[in-house]
Structure 1
Protein backbone atom coordinates (compact mmCIF):
# COMPACT_ATOMS: atom_id res chain seq x y z
CA UNK A 1 0.00 0.00 0.00
CA UNK A 2 1.32 3.45 -0.98
CA UNK A 3 1.46 5.84 1.96
CA UNK A 4 1.59 9.01 -0.15
CA UNK A 5 -0.96 11.67 0.79
CA UNK A 6 -2.69 13.32 -2.12
CA UNK A 7 -5.01 16.30 -2.58
CA UNK A 8 -7.60 16.43 -5.34
CA UNK A 9 -8.95 19.84 -6.33
CA UNK A 10 -11.98 19.58 -8.60
CA UNK A 11 -13.02 16.28 -7.00
CA UNK A 12 -16.75 16.90 -7.45
CA UNK A 13 -16.43 17.13 -11.25
CA UNK A 14 -16.69 14.38 -13.88
CA UNK A 15 -13.00 13.45 -13.91
CA UNK A 16 -12.43 14.35 -10.26
CA UNK A 17 -14.82 11.73 -8.97
CA UNK A 18 -13.09 9.02 -11.02
CA UNK A 19 -9.71 10.24 -9.72
CA UNK A 20 -10.86 9.86 -6.12
CA UNK A 21 -12.01 6.30 -6.81
CA UNK A 22 -8.80 5.35 -8.65
CA UNK A 23 -6.46 6.76 -6.00
CA UNK A 24 -8.37 5.10 -3.15
CA UNK A 25 -8.32 1.75 -4.99
CA UNK A 26 -4.54 2.07 -5.26
CA UNK A 27 -4.20 2.66 -1.54
CA UNK A 28 -3.48 6.40 -1.36
CA UNK A 29 -4.56 8.68 1.47
CA UNK A 30 -6.88 11.23 -0.15
CA UNK A 31 -7.92 14.74 0.85
CA UNK A 32 -10.36 16.62 -1.36
CA UNK A 33 -11.28 20.27 -1.70
CA UNK A 34 -15.01 20.96 -1.51
CA UNK A 35 -16.93 24.24 -1.45
CA UNK A 36 -19.79 23.21 0.86
CA UNK A 37 -20.33 20.78 3.72
CA UNK A 38 -23.17 19.15 1.79
CA UNK A 39 -20.75 17.94 -0.90
CA UNK A 40 -19.35 15.39 1.56
CA UNK A 41 -22.38 13.25 0.73
CA UNK A 42 -21.00 12.58 -2.77
CA UNK A 43 -18.05 10.59 -1.39
CA UNK A 44 -17.95 7.40 0.67
CA UNK A 45 -14.31 6.68 1.45
CA UNK A 46 -12.35 9.94 1.38
CA UNK A 47 -9.82 10.36 4.21
CA UNK A 48 -10.13 14.11 4.69
CA UNK A 49 -12.26 17.00 3.47
CA UNK A 50 -11.07 20.59 3.16
CA UNK A 51 -13.74 23.25 2.75
CA UNK A 52 -12.61 26.32 0.84
CA UNK A 53 -13.07 28.42 -2.29
CA UNK A 54 -10.38 28.09 -4.95
CA UNK A 55 -10.82 31.78 -5.84
CA UNK A 56 -10.34 32.95 -2.23
CA UNK A 57 -6.67 32.45 -1.21
CA UNK A 58 -7.31 32.97 2.52
CA UNK A 59 -9.79 30.08 2.55
CA UNK A 60 -7.08 27.71 1.23
CA UNK A 61 -4.55 28.14 4.01
CA UNK A 62 -3.45 24.69 5.22
CA UNK A 63 -4.99 22.82 2.31
CA UNK A 64 -1.67 21.25 1.27
CA UNK A 65 -0.34 20.65 4.79
CA UNK A 66 1.45 17.22 4.83
CA UNK A 67 0.42 16.57 1.21
CA UNK A 68 2.83 14.84 -1.22
CA UNK A 69 0.95 15.17 -4.50
CA UNK A 70 -1.68 17.61 -5.79
CA UNK A 71 -4.04 16.75 -8.66
CA UNK A 72 -6.00 19.70 -10.05
CA UNK A 73 -8.87 19.33 -12.50
CA UNK A 74 -10.05 22.85 -11.59
CA UNK A 75 -11.61 24.68 -14.51
CA UNK A 76 -14.94 25.95 -15.73
CA UNK A 77 -16.57 25.10 -19.04
CA UNK A 78 -19.40 27.56 -18.63
CA UNK A 79 -18.74 30.69 -16.60
CA UNK A 80 -21.15 31.34 -13.75
CA UNK A 81 -21.45 33.24 -10.47
CA UNK A 82 -19.74 36.19 -12.15
CA UNK A 83 -16.46 34.26 -12.32
CA UNK A 84 -14.30 34.32 -15.47
CA UNK A 85 -11.88 31.77 -16.90
CA UNK A 86 -9.04 33.93 -15.56
CA UNK A 87 -10.62 33.90 -12.08
CA UNK A 88 -10.90 30.10 -11.93
CA UNK A 89 -8.72 28.33 -14.52
CA UNK A 90 -5.76 30.63 -13.97
CA UNK A 91 -6.02 32.44 -10.63
CA UNK A 92 -7.73 29.60 -8.76
CA UNK A 93 -5.03 27.13 -9.75
CA UNK A 94 -2.36 29.73 -9.05
CA UNK A 95 -3.73 30.14 -5.52
CA UNK A 96 -3.49 26.39 -5.01
CA UNK A 97 0.05 26.24 -6.42
CA UNK A 98 1.21 28.93 -4.00
CA UNK A 99 -0.01 26.82 -1.07
CA UNK A 100 1.68 23.73 -2.52
CA UNK A 101 5.00 25.56 -2.89
CA UNK A 102 4.77 26.97 0.63
CA UNK A 103 4.16 23.49 2.10
CA UNK A 104 6.84 21.68 0.10
CA UNK A 105 4.48 19.49 -1.97
CA UNK A 106 6.56 17.11 -4.10
CA UNK A 107 4.51 17.03 -7.33
CA UNK A 108 1.59 18.91 -8.91
CA UNK A 109 -0.50 17.57 -11.79
CA UNK A 110 -2.73 19.89 -13.79
CA UNK A 111 -5.35 18.78 -16.31
CA UNK A 112 -5.69 21.18 -19.25
CA UNK A 113 -7.19 20.02 -22.58
CA UNK A 114 -5.94 18.77 -25.92
CA UNK A 115 -4.06 21.31 -28.04
CA UNK A 116 -4.37 23.98 -25.36
CA UNK A 117 -0.80 25.04 -26.06
CA UNK A 118 -1.67 25.56 -29.75
CA UNK A 119 -5.00 27.34 -29.19
CA UNK A 120 -4.03 30.02 -26.66
CA UNK A 121 -6.09 32.61 -28.55
CA UNK A 122 -9.29 30.93 -27.29
CA UNK A 123 -10.64 32.39 -24.05
CA UNK A 124 -10.70 29.04 -22.25
CA UNK A 125 -7.09 28.22 -23.15
CA UNK A 126 -5.75 31.70 -22.54
CA UNK A 127 -6.36 31.11 -18.83
CA UNK A 128 -5.44 27.40 -18.71
CA UNK A 129 -2.13 27.81 -20.51
CA UNK A 130 -1.19 30.87 -18.50
CA UNK A 131 -1.35 28.61 -15.46
CA UNK A 132 0.64 25.91 -17.29
CA UNK A 133 3.41 28.49 -17.85
CA UNK A 134 3.37 29.39 -14.16
CA UNK A 135 3.46 25.74 -13.09
CA UNK A 136 6.41 24.99 -15.40
CA UNK A 137 8.43 27.94 -14.09
CA UNK A 138 7.59 27.31 -10.40
CA UNK A 139 10.33 24.73 -9.83
CA UNK A 140 7.95 22.06 -8.50
CA UNK A 141 7.86 18.59 -10.10
CA UNK A 142 4.92 18.86 -12.46
CA UNK A 143 2.76 16.78 -14.74
CA UNK A 144 0.59 18.48 -17.37
CA UNK A 145 -2.03 16.31 -19.01
CA UNK A 146 -3.99 17.42 -22.06
CA UNK A 147 -6.86 14.97 -22.51
CA UNK A 148 -9.15 14.75 -25.50
CA UNK A 149 -12.90 15.30 -25.12
CA UNK A 150 -14.58 13.17 -22.45
CA UNK A 151 -17.28 10.64 -23.28
CA UNK A 152 -19.64 12.94 -21.40
CA UNK A 153 -18.87 15.74 -23.91
CA UNK A 154 -20.01 13.47 -26.74
CA UNK A 155 -23.56 13.61 -25.36
CA UNK A 156 -23.99 16.70 -27.58
CA UNK A 157 -24.01 14.34 -30.58
CA UNK A 158 -26.49 12.09 -28.79
CA UNK A 159 -28.84 15.00 -28.02
CA UNK A 160 -28.78 16.10 -31.66
CA UNK A 161 -29.32 12.56 -32.91
CA UNK A 162 -32.46 12.13 -30.82
CA UNK A 163 -34.36 14.31 -33.33
CA UNK A 164 -33.26 11.99 -36.16
CA UNK A 165 -30.65 14.20 -37.83
CA UNK A 166 -27.13 15.36 -36.95
CA UNK A 167 -25.72 18.64 -38.28
CA UNK A 168 -21.98 18.97 -38.87
CA UNK A 169 -19.84 21.85 -40.11
CA UNK A 170 -17.74 21.07 -43.17
CA UNK A 171 -17.10 17.56 -44.50
CA UNK A 172 -17.20 15.80 -41.11
CA UNK A 173 -13.92 13.97 -41.72
CA UNK A 174 -11.87 15.52 -38.91
CA UNK A 175 -10.98 12.92 -36.30
CA UNK A 176 -10.82 12.64 -32.53
CA UNK A 177 -10.49 9.95 -29.88
CA UNK A 178 -12.64 10.84 -26.84
CA UNK A 179 -11.82 9.17 -23.53
CA UNK A 180 -13.90 7.81 -20.67
CA UNK A 181 -13.41 9.40 -17.24
CA UNK A 182 -12.48 6.09 -15.60
CA UNK A 183 -9.82 5.37 -18.22
CA UNK A 184 -8.46 8.91 -17.94
CA UNK A 185 -8.18 8.73 -14.15
CA UNK A 186 -5.89 5.71 -14.52
CA UNK A 187 -3.73 7.65 -17.00
CA UNK A 188 -3.52 10.62 -14.62
CA UNK A 189 -2.20 8.48 -11.76
CA UNK A 190 0.17 6.50 -14.01
CA UNK A 191 1.68 9.71 -15.42
CA UNK A 192 2.16 11.12 -11.92
CA UNK A 193 3.91 7.95 -10.76
CA UNK A 194 6.12 7.94 -13.86
CA UNK A 195 6.98 11.61 -13.39
CA UNK A 196 6.02 12.36 -17.01
CA UNK A 197 6.00 16.12 -17.38
CA UNK A 198 3.67 16.55 -20.35
CA UNK A 199 1.35 14.21 -22.21
CA UNK A 200 -1.87 13.99 -24.18
CA UNK A 201 -4.48 11.31 -23.53
CA UNK A 202 -7.40 10.01 -25.56
CA UNK A 203 -9.45 6.86 -25.85
CA UNK A 204 -8.58 3.68 -27.74
CA UNK A 205 -11.00 4.38 -30.64
CA UNK A 206 -10.48 7.11 -33.26
CA UNK A 207 -13.64 8.48 -34.89
CA UNK A 208 -14.37 10.99 -37.62
CA UNK A 209 -17.19 13.42 -36.81
CA UNK A 210 -19.29 11.49 -39.35
CA UNK A 211 -18.56 8.29 -37.40
CA UNK A 212 -19.72 9.95 -34.17
CA UNK A 213 -22.92 11.15 -35.83
CA UNK A 214 -23.66 7.63 -37.14
CA UNK A 215 -22.92 6.07 -33.75
CA UNK A 216 -25.27 8.51 -32.01
CA UNK A 217 -28.08 7.95 -34.54
CA UNK A 218 -27.59 4.18 -34.27
CA UNK A 219 -27.90 4.37 -30.47
CA UNK A 220 -31.38 5.87 -30.91
CA UNK A 221 -32.28 3.35 -33.63
CA UNK A 222 -32.56 6.15 -36.20
CA UNK A 223 -31.93 6.14 -39.95
CA UNK A 224 -28.57 7.74 -40.78
CA UNK A 225 -29.27 11.37 -41.65
CA UNK A 226 -26.35 13.80 -41.52
CA UNK A 227 -26.43 17.36 -42.87
CA UNK A 228 -23.12 19.07 -43.68
CA UNK A 229 -23.21 22.84 -43.27
CA UNK A 230 -20.65 24.98 -45.13
CA UNK A 231 -17.59 25.78 -43.04
CA UNK A 232 -18.02 29.53 -43.55
CA UNK A 233 -21.15 29.29 -41.41
CA UNK A 234 -19.06 27.93 -38.49
CA UNK A 235 -16.61 30.83 -38.82
CA UNK A 236 -19.48 33.30 -39.10
CA UNK A 237 -21.09 32.02 -35.88
CA UNK A 238 -17.80 32.47 -34.01
CA UNK A 239 -17.42 36.02 -35.42
CA UNK A 240 -20.98 36.98 -34.42
CA UNK A 241 -20.60 35.56 -30.91
CA UNK A 242 -17.25 37.30 -30.31
CA UNK A 243 -18.67 40.60 -31.54
CA UNK A 244 -22.01 40.63 -29.77
CA UNK A 245 -21.73 38.46 -26.63
CA UNK A 246 -19.52 38.24 -23.56
CA UNK A 247 -16.83 35.60 -23.06
CA UNK A 248 -19.27 33.95 -20.64
CA UNK A 249 -21.51 33.16 -23.62
CA UNK A 250 -19.06 32.64 -26.44
CA UNK A 251 -16.19 30.90 -24.59
CA UNK A 252 -17.47 27.30 -24.63
CA UNK A 253 -19.07 27.64 -28.08
CA UNK A 254 -15.89 29.18 -29.52
CA UNK A 255 -13.91 26.24 -28.11
CA UNK A 256 -16.32 23.62 -29.48
CA UNK A 257 -16.59 25.18 -32.95
CA UNK A 258 -12.82 25.69 -33.25
CA UNK A 259 -12.13 22.09 -32.18
CA UNK A 260 -14.58 20.88 -34.85
CA UNK A 261 -12.31 22.30 -37.57
CA UNK A 262 -9.22 20.24 -36.71
CA UNK A 263 -8.09 16.68 -36.09
CA UNK A 264 -7.80 16.14 -32.32
CA UNK A 265 -6.01 12.84 -31.85
CA UNK A 266 -4.27 12.18 -28.55
CA UNK A 267 -2.19 9.21 -27.39
CA UNK A 268 -4.52 6.21 -27.08
CA UNK A 269 -5.36 4.65 -23.70
CA UNK A 270 -8.05 2.63 -21.95
CA UNK A 271 -10.57 0.02 -22.98
CA UNK A 272 -13.96 1.73 -22.68
CA UNK A 273 -16.05 1.95 -25.86
CA UNK A 274 -18.08 5.01 -26.81
CA UNK A 275 -20.81 2.84 -28.33
CA UNK A 276 -21.42 1.24 -24.93
CA UNK A 277 -21.54 4.70 -23.30
CA UNK A 278 -24.10 5.93 -25.87
CA UNK A 279 -26.24 2.80 -25.40
CA UNK A 280 -26.22 3.27 -21.61
CA UNK A 281 -27.18 6.96 -21.92
CA UNK A 282 -30.08 6.15 -24.27
CA UNK A 283 -31.38 3.43 -21.91
CA UNK A 284 -31.36 5.95 -19.02
CA UNK A 285 -33.67 8.22 -21.02
CA UNK A 286 -35.92 5.46 -22.35
CA UNK A 287 -36.53 3.66 -19.03
Structure 2
Protein backbone atom coordinates (compact mmCIF):
# COMPACT_ATOMS: atom_id res chain seq x y z
CA UNK A 1 0.00 0.00 0.00
CA UNK A 2 1.34 3.41 -1.00
CA UNK A 3 0.45 6.34 1.26
CA UNK A 4 0.52 10.00 0.37
CA UNK A 5 1.01 12.09 3.50
CA UNK A 6 0.19 15.77 3.16
CA UNK A 7 1.68 18.13 5.75
CA UNK A 8 4.47 15.66 6.58
CA UNK A 9 6.91 18.33 7.77
CA UNK A 10 4.49 19.54 10.45
CA UNK A 11 4.26 18.60 14.13
CA UNK A 12 1.68 15.85 13.51
CA UNK A 13 2.53 14.96 9.91
CA UNK A 14 6.10 13.96 10.66
CA UNK A 15 4.93 11.54 13.36
CA UNK A 16 2.40 10.02 10.95
CA UNK A 17 5.15 9.58 8.35
CA UNK A 18 7.52 8.04 10.91
CA UNK A 19 4.87 5.61 12.12
CA UNK A 20 3.85 4.59 8.59
CA UNK A 21 7.47 3.95 7.59
CA UNK A 22 8.13 1.94 10.75
CA UNK A 23 5.08 -0.23 10.01
CA UNK A 24 6.32 -1.02 6.51
CA UNK A 25 4.14 1.22 4.34
CA UNK A 26 5.52 2.79 1.20
CA UNK A 27 5.35 6.48 2.06
CA UNK A 28 5.23 9.45 -0.28
CA UNK A 29 5.16 12.98 1.14
CA UNK A 30 3.79 16.06 -0.60
CA UNK A 31 5.96 19.02 0.42
CA UNK A 32 6.26 22.65 -0.59
CA UNK A 33 9.98 22.77 0.17
CA UNK A 34 12.00 19.58 -0.53
CA UNK A 35 14.96 21.20 1.23
CA UNK A 36 13.04 21.37 4.52
CA UNK A 37 11.90 17.76 4.03
CA UNK A 38 15.39 16.23 3.83
CA UNK A 39 14.78 14.34 7.09
CA UNK A 40 11.82 12.53 5.50
CA UNK A 41 14.09 11.19 2.73
CA UNK A 42 16.57 10.04 5.37
CA UNK A 43 13.76 8.11 7.06
CA UNK A 44 12.97 6.35 3.76
CA UNK A 45 10.04 8.36 2.39
CA UNK A 46 9.68 9.54 -1.19
CA UNK A 47 9.43 13.33 -1.31
CA UNK A 48 7.45 14.99 -4.11
CA UNK A 49 7.06 18.75 -4.59
CA UNK A 50 3.53 20.10 -4.54
CA UNK A 51 1.15 22.56 -2.93
CA UNK A 52 -2.51 22.26 -1.95
CA UNK A 53 -3.06 25.78 -3.23
CA UNK A 54 -1.88 24.73 -6.71
CA UNK A 55 -4.23 21.88 -7.74
CA UNK A 56 -2.20 21.16 -10.88
CA UNK A 57 0.61 19.79 -8.67
CA UNK A 58 -1.58 17.13 -7.05
CA UNK A 59 -2.25 14.76 -9.94
CA UNK A 60 1.34 13.54 -10.29
CA UNK A 61 1.71 13.19 -6.51
CA UNK A 62 -1.40 10.98 -6.33
CA UNK A 63 -0.37 8.60 -9.10
CA UNK A 64 -0.34 5.03 -7.77
CA UNK A 65 -1.42 6.11 -4.28
CA UNK A 66 -3.71 3.79 -2.30
CA UNK A 67 -4.47 6.06 0.65
CA UNK A 68 -4.10 9.72 1.60
CA UNK A 69 -3.47 10.99 5.13
CA UNK A 70 -4.09 14.72 5.31
CA UNK A 71 -2.24 16.34 8.20
CA UNK A 72 -1.80 19.75 6.57
CA UNK A 73 -3.07 23.01 7.99
CA UNK A 74 -2.20 26.68 7.65
CA UNK A 75 0.43 28.03 10.03
CA UNK A 76 0.54 31.40 11.79
CA UNK A 77 3.69 32.26 9.81
CA UNK A 78 2.04 31.52 6.43
CA UNK A 79 1.20 34.38 4.13
CA UNK A 80 -1.82 32.39 2.94
CA UNK A 81 -5.16 32.57 4.74
CA UNK A 82 -6.91 29.78 6.62
CA UNK A 83 -9.53 29.67 3.85
CA UNK A 84 -6.93 29.25 1.11
CA UNK A 85 -5.20 26.31 2.78
CA UNK A 86 -7.81 24.63 4.99
CA UNK A 87 -10.77 25.01 2.61
CA UNK A 88 -9.74 25.69 -0.98
CA UNK A 89 -6.67 23.45 -0.67
CA UNK A 90 -8.55 20.60 1.01
CA UNK A 91 -11.37 20.69 -1.54
CA UNK A 92 -8.78 20.41 -4.32
CA UNK A 93 -7.06 17.50 -2.55
CA UNK A 94 -10.32 15.61 -1.99
CA UNK A 95 -11.41 16.11 -5.62
CA UNK A 96 -7.98 15.07 -6.94
CA UNK A 97 -7.97 11.98 -4.68
CA UNK A 98 -11.38 10.95 -6.00
CA UNK A 99 -10.23 11.37 -9.60
CA UNK A 100 -7.07 9.34 -8.88
CA UNK A 101 -9.06 6.41 -7.45
CA UNK A 102 -7.68 6.68 -3.92
CA UNK A 103 -9.15 3.92 -1.73
CA UNK A 104 -8.85 5.58 1.71
CA UNK A 105 -8.69 9.17 2.94
CA UNK A 106 -7.78 10.02 6.53
CA UNK A 107 -8.62 13.57 7.62
CA UNK A 108 -7.72 15.34 10.87
CA UNK A 109 -10.41 17.69 12.12
CA UNK A 110 -11.04 19.47 15.43
CA UNK A 111 -13.38 18.26 18.17
CA UNK A 112 -16.64 20.23 18.55
CA UNK A 113 -16.07 22.16 15.31
CA UNK A 114 -19.84 22.35 14.81
CA UNK A 115 -20.26 24.33 18.06
CA UNK A 116 -18.23 27.36 16.96
CA UNK A 117 -19.67 28.65 13.65
CA UNK A 118 -18.25 32.12 14.37
CA UNK A 119 -14.66 30.81 14.50
CA UNK A 120 -13.31 30.54 10.91
CA UNK A 121 -11.02 27.52 11.44
CA UNK A 122 -13.74 25.54 13.27
CA UNK A 123 -16.37 26.35 10.66
CA UNK A 124 -14.00 25.41 7.83
CA UNK A 125 -13.19 22.09 9.53
CA UNK A 126 -16.92 21.37 9.91
CA UNK A 127 -17.57 22.16 6.25
CA UNK A 128 -14.62 20.03 5.14
CA UNK A 129 -15.96 17.08 7.13
CA UNK A 130 -19.30 17.41 5.32
CA UNK A 131 -17.65 17.82 1.92
CA UNK A 132 -15.49 14.74 2.48
CA UNK A 133 -18.46 12.65 3.69
CA UNK A 134 -20.42 13.55 0.55
CA UNK A 135 -17.47 13.21 -1.86
CA UNK A 136 -17.78 9.49 -2.48
CA UNK A 137 -14.36 8.74 -0.99
CA UNK A 138 -13.90 6.02 1.62
CA UNK A 139 -12.91 8.25 4.51
CA UNK A 140 -12.08 8.28 8.22
CA UNK A 141 -12.26 11.53 10.19
CA UNK A 142 -10.27 11.88 13.41
CA UNK A 143 -11.35 14.82 15.58
CA UNK A 144 -8.49 16.14 17.73
CA UNK A 145 -8.37 18.48 20.73
CA UNK A 146 -4.74 19.65 21.01
CA UNK A 147 -1.10 18.55 20.81
CA UNK A 148 1.09 18.10 23.88
CA UNK A 149 4.02 19.32 21.78
CA UNK A 150 2.50 22.81 21.62
CA UNK A 151 2.57 23.13 25.41
CA UNK A 152 6.36 23.32 25.51
CA UNK A 153 6.47 26.67 23.76
CA UNK A 154 3.30 27.90 25.44
CA UNK A 155 4.17 27.01 29.03
CA UNK A 156 7.40 25.05 29.46
CA UNK A 157 9.95 27.41 27.90
CA UNK A 158 8.47 30.67 29.29
CA UNK A 159 8.40 29.25 32.82
CA UNK A 160 12.01 28.04 32.58
CA UNK A 161 13.17 31.40 31.20
CA UNK A 162 11.14 33.52 33.60
CA UNK A 163 9.04 34.95 30.76
CA UNK A 164 5.30 35.77 31.02
CA UNK A 165 2.81 32.96 30.47
CA UNK A 166 -0.30 34.31 28.76
CA UNK A 167 -3.73 33.07 29.80
CA UNK A 168 -6.95 34.28 28.18
CA UNK A 169 -10.36 34.47 29.83
CA UNK A 170 -11.81 31.40 31.49
CA UNK A 171 -9.51 28.72 30.12
CA UNK A 172 -11.19 25.70 28.54
CA UNK A 173 -9.95 22.31 29.78
CA UNK A 174 -8.40 20.52 26.79
CA UNK A 175 -7.58 16.81 26.42
CA UNK A 176 -4.14 17.21 24.86
CA UNK A 177 -2.59 14.18 23.16
CA UNK A 178 0.96 13.29 22.12
CA UNK A 179 1.24 13.40 18.30
CA UNK A 180 2.95 9.99 18.38
CA UNK A 181 -0.23 8.52 19.86
CA UNK A 182 -2.42 10.32 17.31
CA UNK A 183 -0.26 8.83 14.56
CA UNK A 184 -1.01 5.33 15.92
CA UNK A 185 -4.74 5.88 15.39
CA UNK A 186 -4.25 7.28 11.89
CA UNK A 187 -2.15 4.36 10.66
CA UNK A 188 -4.29 1.81 12.49
CA UNK A 189 -7.42 3.11 10.72
CA UNK A 190 -6.02 1.97 7.37
CA UNK A 191 -6.30 -1.70 8.30
CA UNK A 192 -9.63 -1.71 10.19
CA UNK A 193 -12.80 -1.92 8.08
CA UNK A 194 -14.93 -0.67 11.00
CA UNK A 195 -13.30 2.77 10.68
CA UNK A 196 -14.47 3.27 7.09
CA UNK A 197 -16.85 6.20 6.55
CA UNK A 198 -16.78 6.97 10.27
CA UNK A 199 -15.81 9.89 12.50
CA UNK A 200 -13.99 9.38 15.81
CA UNK A 201 -12.75 11.65 18.60
CA UNK A 202 -9.04 11.09 19.29
CA UNK A 203 -8.08 12.86 22.50
CA UNK A 204 -5.85 12.49 25.55
CA UNK A 205 -6.44 10.73 28.86
CA UNK A 206 -8.00 13.77 30.56
CA UNK A 207 -8.73 17.47 30.00
CA UNK A 208 -6.39 20.05 31.54
CA UNK A 209 -7.06 23.73 32.19
CA UNK A 210 -4.31 26.33 31.67
CA UNK A 211 -4.05 26.80 35.43
CA UNK A 212 -3.54 23.07 36.01
CA UNK A 213 -0.83 22.88 33.34
CA UNK A 214 0.97 25.90 34.80
CA UNK A 215 0.85 24.35 38.28
CA UNK A 216 2.25 21.07 36.91
CA UNK A 217 5.08 22.88 35.08
CA UNK A 218 5.94 24.82 38.24
CA UNK A 219 6.17 21.61 40.25
CA UNK A 220 8.28 19.79 37.66
CA UNK A 221 10.64 22.70 36.96
CA UNK A 222 10.91 24.08 40.48
CA UNK A 223 10.25 27.55 39.11
CA UNK A 224 7.36 29.96 39.63
CA UNK A 225 5.37 31.08 36.58
CA UNK A 226 4.76 34.73 35.73
CA UNK A 227 1.12 34.51 34.70
CA UNK A 228 -0.33 37.39 32.68
CA UNK A 229 -4.03 37.40 31.88
CA UNK A 230 -5.21 38.86 28.60
CA UNK A 231 -8.83 40.12 28.77
CA UNK A 232 -10.94 38.38 26.12
CA UNK A 233 -12.72 41.65 25.35
CA UNK A 234 -9.40 43.27 24.45
CA UNK A 235 -8.65 40.46 21.97
CA UNK A 236 -12.12 40.83 20.47
CA UNK A 237 -11.50 44.55 19.96
CA UNK A 238 -8.15 43.87 18.30
CA UNK A 239 -9.77 41.29 16.06
CA UNK A 240 -12.49 43.71 14.95
CA UNK A 241 -9.85 46.33 14.17
CA UNK A 242 -7.83 43.85 12.11
CA UNK A 243 -10.87 43.03 10.00
CA UNK A 244 -10.80 46.59 8.62
CA UNK A 245 -7.54 45.85 6.78
CA UNK A 246 -7.02 43.13 4.19
CA UNK A 247 -3.51 42.43 5.52
CA UNK A 248 -5.07 41.80 8.94
CA UNK A 249 -7.72 39.27 7.91
CA UNK A 250 -5.48 36.26 8.56
CA UNK A 251 -4.48 37.58 12.01
CA UNK A 252 -8.14 38.29 12.83
CA UNK A 253 -9.17 34.76 11.84
CA UNK A 254 -6.50 33.27 14.08
CA UNK A 255 -7.44 35.50 17.02
CA UNK A 256 -10.98 34.15 16.68
CA UNK A 257 -9.74 30.77 17.93
CA UNK A 258 -9.26 32.32 21.37
CA UNK A 259 -13.07 32.11 21.65
CA UNK A 260 -12.62 28.32 21.81
CA UNK A 261 -9.73 28.45 24.28
CA UNK A 262 -11.46 30.96 26.57
CA UNK A 263 -15.04 29.67 26.44
CA UNK A 264 -14.69 27.52 29.55
CA UNK A 265 -16.25 24.60 27.65
CA UNK A 266 -14.10 21.42 27.81
CA UNK A 267 -12.58 20.07 24.62
CA UNK A 268 -12.87 16.40 25.51
CA UNK A 269 -14.77 13.22 24.61
CA UNK A 270 -15.13 9.63 25.86
CA UNK A 271 -12.61 7.26 24.26
CA UNK A 272 -13.51 3.78 25.54
CA UNK A 273 -15.34 2.68 22.37
CA UNK A 274 -12.70 4.29 20.15
CA UNK A 275 -9.93 2.22 21.75
CA UNK A 276 -12.04 -0.92 21.25
CA UNK A 277 -12.67 -0.23 17.56
CA UNK A 278 -9.00 0.55 16.88
CA UNK A 279 -7.73 -2.35 18.98
CA UNK A 280 -5.40 -0.14 21.00
CA UNK A 281 -4.71 -0.19 24.74
CA UNK A 282 -5.42 3.10 26.58
CA UNK A 283 -2.63 2.22 29.02
CA UNK A 284 -0.15 2.79 26.19
CA UNK A 285 -1.30 6.38 25.68
CA UNK A 286 1.09 9.04 26.99
CA UNK A 287 -0.26 11.09 29.87
CA UNK A 288 0.43 14.81 30.11
CA UNK A 289 2.22 14.32 33.42
CA UNK A 290 4.68 11.79 31.95
CA UNK A 291 5.20 13.88 28.80
CA UNK A 292 6.09 17.04 30.71
CA UNK A 293 8.08 15.08 33.30
CA UNK A 294 10.29 13.67 30.53
CA UNK A 295 10.72 17.11 28.98
CA UNK A 296 11.72 18.86 32.21
CA UNK A 297 14.00 15.98 33.27
CA UNK A 298 15.82 16.25 29.95
CA UNK A 299 16.10 20.04 30.09
CA UNK A 300 17.18 20.18 33.75
CA UNK A 301 19.84 17.50 33.08
CA UNK A 302 21.15 19.54 30.15
CA UNK A 303 21.25 22.70 32.25
CA UNK A 304 23.20 20.89 34.99
CA UNK A 305 25.68 19.59 32.41
CA UNK A 306 26.18 23.08 30.98
CA UNK A 307 26.66 24.50 34.48
CA UNK A 308 29.20 21.76 35.27
CA UNK A 309 31.18 22.47 32.08
CA UNK A 310 31.10 26.20 32.79
CA UNK A 311 32.46 25.72 36.32
CA UNK A 312 35.08 23.26 35.05
CA UNK A 313 36.40 25.78 32.51
CA UNK A 314 36.39 28.51 35.17
CA UNK A 315 38.51 26.40 37.52
CA UNK A 316 40.99 25.58 34.75
CA UNK A 317 41.33 29.25 33.93
CA UNK A 318 42.02 30.09 37.58
CA UNK A 319 44.75 27.41 37.81
CA UNK A 320 46.56 28.81 34.78
CA UNK A 321 46.84 32.30 36.34
CA UNK A 322 50.61 32.83 37.05
CA UNK A 323 50.05 35.47 39.72
CA UNK A 324 48.33 35.16 43.04
CA UNK A 325 46.12 37.88 44.40
CA UNK A 326 47.86 39.99 46.98
CA UNK A 327 45.74 41.72 49.59
CA UNK A 328 46.53 45.43 49.82
CA UNK A 329 47.51 46.67 53.27
TM-score range normalised by the length of the shorter chain: 0.7 to 0.9
Contact 2:159 2:225 in 1 (8 A): no
Match of 2:296 in 1: 279
Q: Distance in 2 between matches of 1:167 and 1:80?
A: 23
SS in 2 for 1:110: strand
> How many matched pairs?
279
Contact 2:242 2:251 in 1 (8 A): no
Distance 1:283 1:115, change over 3 A: farther
Q: How far did residue 257 of structure 1 move?
A: 4.5
Q: Distance in 2 between matches of 1:84 and 1:171?
A: 28
Match of 1:249 in 2: 251
Contact 1:111 1:144 in 2 (8 A): yes
Moved more, 87-96 or 154-163: 154-163
**TM-score, normalised by the number of residues in structure 1:** 0.86
Q: How far did residue 276 of structure 1 move?
A: 2.5
Q: Distance in 2 between matches of 1:284 and 1:57?
A: 48
Out of 73, 76, 98, the residue aligned to residue 74 of structure 2 is 76
Match of 1:24 in 2: 21
- Which consecutive residues of structure 2, in runs of 5 or more, have no partner in the other structure? 272-281, 307-329
Q: Distance in 2 between matches of 1:23 and 1:6?
A: 8
Distance 1:243 1:190, change over 3 A: same
1:215 paired to 2:213: no
RMSD, aligned CA: 2.6
**TM-score, normalised by the number of residues in structure 2:** 0.76
Distance 1:119 1:193, change over 3 A: farther
Moved more, 132-141 or 244-253: 244-253
Q: Distance in 1 between matches of 2:169 and 2:258?
A: 14
Aligned ranges 1:37-52 → 2 under 5 Å: 37-43=34-40, 44-52=42-50
SS in 2 for 1:219: helix
Q: How far did residue 40 of structure 1 move?
A: 4.0
Match of 2:267 in 1: 264
Q: Deviations over 1:50-71 (max 9, x none)?
A: 2112110112222211211100
Distance 1:120 1:58, change over 3 A: same
Q: Distance in 1 between matches of 2:269 and 2:239?
A: 29
Match of 2:63 in 1: 65
Q: Which protein has the larger Cα radius of gyration, Structure 1 or Structure 2?
A: 2
- Which consecutive residues of structure 1, in runs of 5 or more, have no partner in the other structure? none
Q: How far did residue 200 of structure 1 move?
A: 1.4
Match of 2:116 in 1: 119
Q: Distance in 2 between matches of 1:265 and 1:144?
A: 16
Q: How far did residue 228 of structure 1 move?
A: 6.3
Match of 2:125 in 1: 128
Match of 2:85 in 1: 88
Q: Deviations over 1:67-93 (max 9, x none)?
A: 111000111131523x11111011111
